[in-house]
Amino acid sequence: MFLDRDGTLTEPRHYPAHPDELVLQPDIGAPLRALQNEGYALVVVTNQSGLARGLLDTAILDAMHDRLRGLLDRHGVHLDGIYACSHHPDGTVHHYRKVCACRKPAPGMLYQAAHDLDLDLTRSWTVGDSACDIGAGHRAGTRTVLVGSRSSDAVPHLHGATTSDALWQLCLSLLGTSCRSPSPYRPHDRPETRGT
């Protein structure tokens, strides 16, 4: 599973630039765990042009992603990788200012992850809340799941009103009705952290 970060795994924010600004979307632990237990790798692919715009640096981004891993870990969900595009053609930070092959809807991050983690793109899915996510997933040859109602040139294979809905749709498609059975992961199952 290729998972967008902002607006998909976490609540939408305008250029989040601090770990505390990452807040998980509600009720995503159980479906992510179901997919993980089925053997799917969970890989975040995120456009972070805030680096090119000088709004944050790689140390902050690393701290944010440590927090994201920590938030998901509380639900027994373990990310197999996090890929971030730091570029933008109009960036103010010289070495990030460029047209790159990784900024979604380009499929570069998906190709890189597939190479690094030995993933079969034709058996992979891309989940995101924007047209660029669906476009990247489509171009990389994955199937796609759109969260929310934004329109996209590339029609997604599945759709959900919220991230939780979308992930359950995906579980249903891949695992059938058994995916809704009570999860075995109980000890740390507790309400999502809602900020600090």
Helix (H, G, I), strand (E, B) or coil at 42: coil
Residues 103-142 that bind Mg ion (CB under 5 A): 129-130
103 binds, among Zn ion, Mg ion, none (CB under 5 to 8 A by kind): Zn ion
Q: Smallest distance from the beta carbon of 7 to Mg ion, in angstroms?
A: 4
Q: Smallest distance from the beta carbon of 45 to Mg ion, in angstroms?
A: 10
Q: Which residue in the set 1, 2, 3, 7 belongs to the binding site for Mg ion (CB under 5 A)?
A: 7
The radius of gyration computed from the CA coordinates of the chain, to the nearest angstrom, equals 16
Could you tell me which residues are beta bridge partners of residue 143? 125
Between 30 and 64, whose beta carbon lies closer to Zn ion? 64
Residue 30 sits in the site that holds Mg ion (CB under 5 A): no
Q: Rounded to whole angstroms, how far apart are CA atoms 10 and 2?
A: 14
Between 5 and 87, whose beta carbon lies closer to Zn ion? 87
Residue 10 sits in the site that holds Mg ion (CB under 5 A): no
4 binds, among Zn ion, Mg ion, none (CB under 5 to 8 A by kind): Mg ion
Between 61 and 129, whose beta carbon lies closer to Mg ion? 129
What is the binding site for Zn ion (CB under 5 A)?
Answer: 85, 87, 100, 102-103
CA contacts within 13 A on the Cβ side of 131 = 5
6 binds, among Zn ion, Mg ion, none (CB under 5 to 8 A by kind): Mg ion
Between 45 and 119, whose beta carbon lies closer to Mg ion? 45
Long-range contacts of 56-65 (CB under 8 A, 24+ apart): 56/15, 56/17, 58/86, 60/17, 60/18, 60/19, 61/86, 63/19, 64/16, 64/18, 64/19, 64/21, 64/22
Q: Which residues bind Mg ion (CB under 5 A)?
A: 4, 6-7, 129-130
